[in-house]
Amino acid sequence: MLGILRGLRVTALGALRKMNWTLAARVAWVKDGCTAMMPLPQTRDLVLIGGGHAHALVLRAWAMNPLPGVRLTVINPDPVAPYTGMLPGHIAGHYGRADLMIDLVRLARFAGARVILGRVAGIDRTNRMVIVPGRAAIGYDIASVDIGIASDLPNLPGFPDHAVAAKPLGPFAAAWDRYLVALAAGRVPGQIVVIGAGVGGVELSLAMAERLRGMKLAASITLLEQADTALPGVGTGARAGLLAALARYGVTVRVAARPQAVTADSVVLEDGTILPAGFTLGVAGARPQGWLAETGLDLEAGFISVGPTLQSSDPLIFAVGDCAHMTHAPRPKAGVFAVRQAPVLLHNMRAALGAGRMRTYRPQGDYLKLISTGAQSAVADKWGLRLDGAILWRWKDRIDRRFMAMFHDLPAMAPPQVPRLLADGVAQHLAATPPLCGGCGAKVPGGALRAALEGLPAPARADVIAGAGDDAAVLTHGAGVQVITTDHLRAFTPDAYVMARIAALHALGDVWAMGAAPQVALAQVTLPPMSDSLQARTLAEILSAAGEAFRSAGADLVGGHTTIGAELTIGFTVTGLADRAVTKGGAKAGDALILTRGLGSGVVMAAEMAHAALPDGLLGEAVAATLTAMQRSGRTAAHLLRDAHALTDVTGFGLAGHLVEMLDASSLAAMIDLSALPLLPGAEALAGAGVRSSLWAGNKVSVTTRVTAPDSPRADLMYDPQTAGGFLAAVPNALAPTLIAALRAAGEDAAVIGHLSAGIPHLTCN
């Protein structure tokens, strides 16, 4: 373990290599007398399936020395992955949740990889596609599997409904925390049954007993083992130490105990014994994930068979960690092997992609096991000796914290150096301007845009009812109207499928905000330089996501245009039909202001782009929640607000900017209750830490004389640019409660945030 930590730690040389590669990756293309800076083309797809320890280490090492031309992707169901070594300490109360979680979203951004949040259900080896339900398949040239194991007991009646498995670790830790809250409130009985008395079951039983002792909660723990002896396979000395620890905590150990069924409040044994249980935990053995059986790969007891190079029977697919079986050197399931496989896996995947020759992985014959015993003490299992005490726990704690520090304390990469000679103003602009955010953080500030639009000629055609100034242009169409809008977004996530869905919904927002039903859409896509195969895969993801979004909205994607540029940009031009257009004007004094979606997408995505850490949580979870919010269709919300006096969508100019536009159009003033603003998870903490989107300053300056607000993070979020944001509606005050109830039933985080009044157009916040 310590050798791997030394081998993978970040050095100043590693950071310098990363910076040099970043600079070298940008080459000047000279053609027809024109020079443009373009990134090197991507030609190969490397896909990591699962966020296990080996893959996490690969991501971190890749950031230090990426292979140019490779698009790296990691697929995992959750934005964070727990480190197994610290789980018992978390259950016991020694570590907070954030201490043992690897933030895969933040790590992937650091590595220049795209992260796809989804649960893999299969691999189509013929077409080299990874199947993730709910989205387009992901193509690969080389893939690696590191998905761990499960410890549930699906064949035990009642287990799926009434028990929790120790693996996956995240759901177990969350279920344990919920049980403790319910136990403290007296809502559940204080009996705990743990199925499986191996090392994992014993260690978690001791951890739970320590947590109960620390919280002064009364509960009994019964540990079941179907063999005749607890802790099979553990050395004599360590076994004696662990059994002594169980006795000290009063944990009951029952051997030759075979569960027959699990009920809502008990575990029934084969001999008829009924054990009361308010919390049932399964830690019995290792079970492979079922979809592996459908891959056609060679398996051993359901686990992927791999050879010395960590390749499966398909040389394009590697496997590591607990989901793999090393045919050349079988070993028990243990995290130490996944950690030590990481350097060889990285080297061999690079070789498979065209860089170098394969190496072999030779696992050690034995290794030191440090097993925590509830309190801050541990037992060492090696050579059959009995070694235990607080010093061993401190040693284990130091190793675990050093391992996690590699993921929590990501080094700051030096930015590329700018030329020595610059025109006047360039250095000042670079110093004053934060890195350009994607989404609506990348648009021109409102002040500059309004100045430009002032010179735009008035529409000359009689069928143009309204041009620039509202959410969409309005044209006459038979007895009704047609609206037309266009929106283009720089990619703020490298997941082309998610980015396309967000861009489509963002463009649809303008049509819905005008009270129109979407009609048709044209796509405009700029792809970064990449090979023909990667172009085809990327466009397939984009068109799949966009087509589904427009079909669900009742519109057709009828064509568009593609081009190659420096970065991924996706846009859509959308038309819609309505009997009449709902505009920003028309609001009335006394109207309630409804905001349908939480603010903060700009600050969250800016933090992710900067590799920032969330002050009071895990940034990856905030990013995942934000991406989920941006992918929620506004169709139902727009329908519910169809009779609003005034309606607009909150996007690039932030809540304050779009509300001021409504006040100007309606000649009214507004009072906002900042405490009522719905916010996305993590947004207020990031704003309080000073994180800002690149458009934030321009948004604030453009309305600074029109807004009276306190100096606070919540007030700052009114200027945060939103992408695929919610709707801001002015509705009769009497209808507001009914509308809020309907919007929340539809899944929107809607709230009444203030009211309108007669007066000079001005926004006051308290």
Instruction: Determine the residue type at 338.
Output: A
Instruction: Determine the residue type at 292.
Output: L
Q: For residue 667, give the 3-state DSSP assignment.
A: coil
CB atoms within 10 A of CB 432: 8
Q: For residue 198, give the 3-state DSSP assignment.
A: coil
Residues 15 and 58 sit within 8 Å (Cβ to Cβ):
no
> What value does the CA radius of gyration of the chain take, rounded to a whole number of Å?
29
The rounded distance, in Å, linking the Cα atoms of 444 and 617 is 32
Classify the phi-psi angles of 186: left when phi > 0, otherwise alpha if psi is within -120 to 50, otherwise beta.
left
The rounded distance, in Å, linking the Cα atoms of 657 and 654 is 5
What positions carry a catalytic annotation? 440
DSSP letter assigned to residue 475: E
Look at residues 460, 454, 518, 455 and name the one whose alpha carbon lies nearest to residue 484.
518
The rounded distance, in Å, linking the Cα atoms of 257 and 462 is 85
Listed in sequence order, the residues at least 6 apart from 291 whose beta carbon sits closer than 8 Å to its beta carbon are 120, 121, 122
Letter string b/e over residues 271-297, b meaning 16 or more CB atoms within 10 A of that residue's CB: eeeebebbbbbbbbebbbbeebeebeb
Residues 363 and 344 sit within 8 Å (Cβ to Cβ):
no
Distance, CA of 5 to chain centre: 26
CB atoms within 10 A of CB 360: 11
Distances (CA, A) of 573 to 440, 491, 519, 561, 637: 16, 17, 11, 11, 21
Look at residues 494, 274, 497, 241 and name the one whose alpha carbon lies nearest to residue 381.
241
Distance, CA of 717 to chain centre: 21
Residues 121 and 519 sit within 8 Å (Cβ to Cβ):
no
Residues 186 and 166 sit within 8 Å (Cβ to Cβ):
no
Structure tokens at 362: 């030779």
Query: Largest Cα–Cα distance in the chain?
Result: 93
Residues 62 and 113 sit within 8 Å (Cβ to Cβ):
yes
Q: What is the 3-state secondary structure (H, E, C) of 344-409?
A: HHHHHHHHHCCCCCCCCCCCCCCCCEEEEECEEEEEEECCCCCEEEHHHHHHHHHHHHHHHHHHHC
Phi/psi for 674 (5° steps) reads -60, -35
Listed in sequence order, the residues at least 6 apart from 695 whose beta carbon sits closer than 8 Å to its beta carbon are 437, 440, 441, 442, 443, 445, 602, 652, 721
Structure tokens at 426: 């360039």
Token look-up 């996501």 returns: 545
Instruction: Tell me the β-bridge partners of 150.
Output: 287
Alpha helices in 25-145 (DSSP H): 53-64, 87-92, 104-111
